[in-house]
Amino acid sequence: MVVIAEIFLSAFFTVLLEKLASGELVNLALPEGIRSRLQTWSSKLKIIEAVLSDAEEKQIAEKSVNMWLEQLQDLAYDLDDLLDELATEARRRNLMMAQPTQASNPSMLRKLIPACRSTNFTPRVAKFDSAKFDFNISSKIDNITERLQDLLKQKSDLNLMSDHLGGTRSRSTGDERSPTISLVDEYSGFCGREKDKQAILAQMSLGSESGSDHRFRVIPIVGMAGIGKTTLAQQIYNDEEVKNSFDLKVWICVSDEFDEFAITERIYKAISSESCEFKDLDIVQVKLREIISNRKFLLVLDDVWNENYGKWDVLSRPFQAGAPGSTVIVTTRNFSVASIMRSVPDYHLDKLGNEKICSILAHHARGWQNFDAHPGFKEAGEAISKKCEGLPLAAKSLGGLLRLRRTQISGRMYWIARCGIYLRRVMTFFQL
């Protein structure tokens, strides 16, 4: 069972690193001293993450290593809570800038704080003081930084070794999320999104040049992290009917920074297959407009965080030259992002049923279609699938980690005893 804690703690570290690189935290205006300390956490967490496998193997024989892991777990939980607090403050400040009179309204605060959404809790309305928040959060950051540094020192004293060859530690050396691509995973066709795919194809009105007052339509796919927005967009992008219905297709992973020039340049390069030597936004947009003029295009903008209508207005100007029926698909977690871009109603993506989640877990953990032919694994597989709470990315990520450890584990699917406590914390990221 020792492998299990390492697997789920590793998954939790993935969540923490994603949060540290998230657009909300990156764009939150913080004093430079606070920001610099936050930036050191990612590198330190990666150093600790690299020794988790060794620590799990040694904890049975060495009590000091077991105590180190317990301290690490406590620190990870406190760090996660602090990052949630920062994310909530980021939302509050964004709301203050957009609608100053509503930022202290109880109903608006309930929307800011996920824990309040499904309860009758009414937060105490008080005058927010950003300077006071920065002061209070600074002391918490100092505490976590000190504990993190102490754990690093103990790691060296305990002679914990990095798992460079194990594979579970491998991540990008940077803090940014990996870019998405247009190519579809062959297995994604079995991910349970066929009904969603058909609904969006209907919105695209394939084969019809009417159905919208706009020259091009914008369809936002909105949903929480890990719910399958990108996978659904990939399925649509690679659909045979779609391929035959558009003259041009472009996939752009936008992620945190919404740079009008950079995005326009990437679209131009993808369509023209030429290098772009232009340094002026106006020139690039004119060139792009010429290329797409009277041609029906499909553009996917994946993982968009921009809430500035002016930026979208500038980026979208060349699209007006496209032929009727041209479509922009936007994937985002944020309804406010969708509201400034859409020309048709948002498409909200719901969680998957447990049967589909179980199938995804089985595929990525063992290469099976499901657990039906493997009764020794079925009960545990279904139990852990329920704890993924309908999120396919959670099932895929955990299945991938478990696949890496399959040769070290025998018996039923080894998760039931240890998965709960780690999964609950992993899920906090997907609930943002």
- Say if residue 221's pLDDT is above 90: yes
- Measured between alpha carbons, how far is 298 from 312 in angstroms, rounded to an integer? 17
Tell me the pairing of strands 216-222 and 326-332. Answer: parallel
Residue 164 pLDDT > 70, yes or no?
A: no
**CA-to-CA distance for 76 and 401, rounded, in angstroms?**
19
CA–CA distances in Å: residue 350 to residues 207, 238, 354: 27, 22, 13
Q: Do 204 and 295 have their domain in common?
A: yes
- 228 touches 352 (CB < 8 A): yes
Q: Is 50 helix (H, G, I), strand (E, B) or coil?
A: coil
| 229, part of any domain | yes
117, 160: one domain = yes
Alpha-carbon distance of 267 to 226, in angstroms, equals: 26
Residue 360, pLDDT above cutoff 80: yes
Domain that residue 155 falls in: 2-177
Q: Is residue 375 in some structural domain?
A: no
Asked if residue 15 and residue 95 are part of one domain, the reply reads yes
Domain count, the chain: 2
Task: For 62-77, give one letter per residue: b (16+ CB within 10 A) or e.
Answer: eeebeebbeebbebbe
Residues 56 and 200 in one domain: no
Question: Strand 297-304 relative to strand 326-332: parallel, antiparallel, unpaired?
Answer: parallel
User: pLDDT tens digits, residue range 81-119?
Assistant: 888 888 788 777 777 766 655 545 555 444 444 444 444
Q: Is the pLDDT of residue 218 over 90?
A: yes
Q: Is residue 376 part of a domain?
A: no
Rounded Cα gap, residues 20 and 49, in angstroms: 15
Looking at the fold, whether 131 and 30 belong to one and the same domain comes out as yes
- Flag whether the pTM goes above 0.75: no
Residue 206 lies in a domain: yes
Question: For residue 174, is pLDDT > 60?
Answer: no
Q: Are residues 6 and 133 in the same domain?
A: yes
State whether 24 and 115 are in the same domain. yes
Q: Are residue 122 and residue 149 in the same domain, yes or no?
A: yes
333/147 Cα distance (integer angstroms): 33
Inside any domain, residue 412:
no
Query: Do 197 and 331 belong together in one domain?
Result: yes
CA-to-CA distance for 59 and 48, rounded, in angstroms?
15
Q: Same domain, yes or no, for 121 and 238? A: no
DSSP 39: H
d(CA 1, CA 409): 8
Q: What is the pLDDT of residues 404-424, one digit of tens each?
A: 655 444 444 444 434 444 454
Do 72 and 206 share a domain, yes or no? Answer: no
Domain-located, residue 205: yes
Which pairing describes strands 347-348 and 326-332: parallel, antiparallel, or unpaired? unpaired
Q: Determine what percent of the chain is predicted with pLDDT higher than 90.
A: 31
Region of poorest pLDDT, from 207-221, 236-250, 292-306, 336-350: 207-221
Q: Residue 293 is part of a domain; what is its CATH number?
A: 3.40.50.300
If asked whether residues 210 and 98 sit together in one domain, one would say: no
Asked whether residue 182 is assigned to any structural domain, the reply reads no
What is the distance between the alpha carbons of residues 273 and 47, in angstroms, rounded to a whole number? 41
Query: Which helix (H) or strand (E) is 302 found in, with range?
Result: strand 297-304
- Hey, how many other C-beta atoms are within 10 angstroms of the C-beta on 88? 17
| Burial label, 91 (beta-carbon count in 10 A; 0-12, 13-18, 19+) | buried
